[in-house]
Amino acid sequence: MEPLEANHWSSLTELGWDGFFESYFRRSLEESPEPSRSPARVVGEERGLFHLADPNGTFFGVIAGKLRYLAEERLDLPAVGDWVLCSREPNAERAVIHAIFPRRTCIKRKEAGRGTEDQILAANVDYALIVTSANTEFSPARLQRYATAVRNGGAEAEIILSKIDLCPDYDRLSARIQSAMPGIVVHAISVHSSSGLAELHERLTPGKTFVFLGSSGVGKSTLLNGLMGHEVMATQTISGFEDKGRHTTSSRHLFALPSGALVIDTPGLREFRLGDFELGLKETYEDIVALSDECKFSDCHHQGEPGCAVEQAREDGSLSEERWNWFVKLQKEVEYQKRRDSGEHGKNTKARWKKIHQQASQHIKRKRWES
Ligand SMILES: Nc1nc2c(ncn2[C@@H]2O[C@H](COP(=O)(O)OP(=O)(O)OP(=O)(O)O)[C@@H](O)[C@H]2O)c(=O)[nH]1
Ligand SMILES: [Mg+2]
Ligand SMILES: [Zn+2]
């Protein structure tokens, strides 16, 4: 339970609160005054039990029955990074979470396996730091997948190239990332040799929320401990286990660095399936979107049509085959999920109506009983 003791925040602002949440809070108070309810941030979650924080300290919270009942999908339940309205009876061990504030940003993926639900990786994050290690794990294609999800959720993506002590020519890898993702910021670091850590500290703006994302074993928790100045998360004890499916971190937790920046550590992801992330895709491949706007036909498929600007760019080499293929692959995945989600949406609506009908018939039964 160390995350509960690891941090103390003396104001909501230190926890990332700002005008966006304040205005929602005021409006909700005007609409239905509930003086016993106050805002708290979800700083951890373990098997349905939430770790919450407010200026009075950190405490546990459980979801109110009504909130759980009304939730149609996982997205309707709290996630780490969320702001929630909760109440706490005097002397009660656990607070009750009644509502979730609207999310300013929300990074999601499709749940692992064959499921269709979206899973929240982190909420209300300003920047996602996608960690990739400068050895066997390195894959520009995977980084673009992560960046697409991050941008789709409204957050900004930057890359951390970790463990550069293991790779003497890590500059080549940085350059490779920058050519695969034009304009992206890359931080090359090593916790073991302390290189790049001071620059990263500078980058981590106080009051802003950051999340570490990346495969298992890339060094996310080691980096968090390095930035904190002491161990707050357990790390893999034997190096070289990456890509072998061994996960060290099993739940998400938000920490405040001594500088005041907020950082969420997450468990490594083995599989990262995109959802209907058209927005994120367009941002990650804005060069290709700009080219398609120049095609002669607005519905151009870029497959031999006359006046196709995309084919022209592929021919003259200004758009590399590699980048085009990455885009085509992710676009297919996003379109597939879009079709699937629209089917799912129909199902969700049906499920909601079923719930409403059930409620109504229970109400009628109760009325009959009472009369
Ligand atoms: N050589 C070297 N090894 C590192 C560095 N940072 C982390 N490691 C090693 O990489 C291994 C994995 O580190 P973790 O921090 O547990 O990785 P993680 O990304 O948190 O993994 P999960 O929690 O499973 O997602 C450990 O054995 C670390 O000692 C570094 O800068 N250089
Ligand atoms: Mg970890
Ligand atoms: Zn075209």
Q: What is the pLDDT of residue 300?
A: 94
Average pLDDT score, the chain: 87
Q: What pLDDT shows up at residue 2?
A: 46
pLDDT tens, residue by residue, 318-366: 999 999 999 999 999 999 988 887 775 555 554 544 554 555 445 444 4
Mean pLDDT of 97-105: 96
Q: What pLDDT score does 249 carry?
A: 80
Lowest mean pLDDT among 31-35, 83-87, 323-327: 31-35
Query: Average pLDDT of 60-68?
Result: 94
Q: Which of 212, 220, 222 to mutate to test the pocket of ligand 1 (most atoms within 8 A of CB)?
A: 222
* Range name among 106-115, 157-166, 184-193, 240-249 with the lowest pLDDT average: 240-249
Q: How far is the CA of 308 from the centre of ligand 3 (A)?
A: 4
Residue nearest to atom 29 of ligand 1 (CA): 239
**Beta pairing, strands 262-265 & 253-256:** antiparallel
- CA angle centred on 152, ends 16 and 287, rounded to 5°: 125
Q: Provide the residue type at 108 as one letter.
A: K
State yes or no: pLDDT of 239 exceeds 80.
Answer: no
For residue 140, how far is its CA from the centre of ligand 1 (angstroms)?
Answer: 19
At 367 the pLDDT is 42
Closest ligand to C-alpha of residue 308 is 3
- Ligand 1 atom at minimal distance to the Cα of residue 234: 16
Distance 321 CA to ligand 3 centre (A): 15
pLDDT value, residue 235: 83
pLDDT in tens, 266-290: 999 888 888 889 999 999 999 999 9
Going by the DSSP 8-state scheme, the letter that residue 101 receives in this structure is P
Domains, the chain, with CATH or none: 2-100 (2.40.50.140), 106-265 (3.40.50.300), 278-351 (1.10.40.50)
What percentage of the chain exceeds 90 in pLDDT? 67
291 CB-contact burial (10 Å; exposed 0-12 / middle 13-18 / buried 19+) = buried
Q: Which residues contact 271 (CB under 8 A, 6 or more apart)?
A: 112, 113
Mutation to probe ligand 1, out of 233, 239, 265, 269 (largest number of atoms < 8 A from CB): 239
Distance of alpha carbon 28 from alpha carbon 215, whole angstroms: 39
Task: Tell which wins on pLDDT, 181 or 348.
Answer: 181
pLDDT recorded at residue 117: 84
Q: What is the pLDDT of residue 137?
A: 75
Higher pLDDT, 220 or 270: 220
Mean pLDDT for 119-128 is 96
Identify the pLDDT of residue 243.
Answer: 46
* Number of residues that make up the chain: 371
Asked whether the beta carbons of 21 and 101 are under 8 A apart, the reply is yes
Rounded to an integer, the average pLDDT of 238-248 is 56
Q: Which residues line ligand 1 (CB under 6 A)?
A: 162-163, 165-166, 190-192, 216-222, 235-236, 239, 247-249, 267-268
How far does the centroid of ligand 1 lie from the alpha carbon of residue 213, in Å?
13
The confidence score (pLDDT) of residue 238 equals: 57
Distance 139 CA to ligand 1 centre (A): 17
Q: Which atom of ligand 1 is nearest to the CA of 247?
A: 24
Q: Whose CA is nearest to atom 13 of ligand 1?
A: 219
Cα 334 to ligand 2 centroid, rounded to whole Å: 28
**pLDDT value, residue 246:** 61
Ligand 3 center from residue 318 Cα (angstroms): 15
Q: Is the confidence at residue 6, as pLDDT, over 80?
A: no
pLDDT at 369: 39
Query: Ligand 1, atom 22: nearest CA belongs to which residue?
Result: 216
User: pLDDT value at position 135?
Assistant: 84
Task: State how far the alpha carbon of 170 is from the alpha carbons of 189, 199, 212, 241, 370, in Å.
Answer: 10, 17, 20, 21, 75
pLDDT at 1 (0 to 100): 42
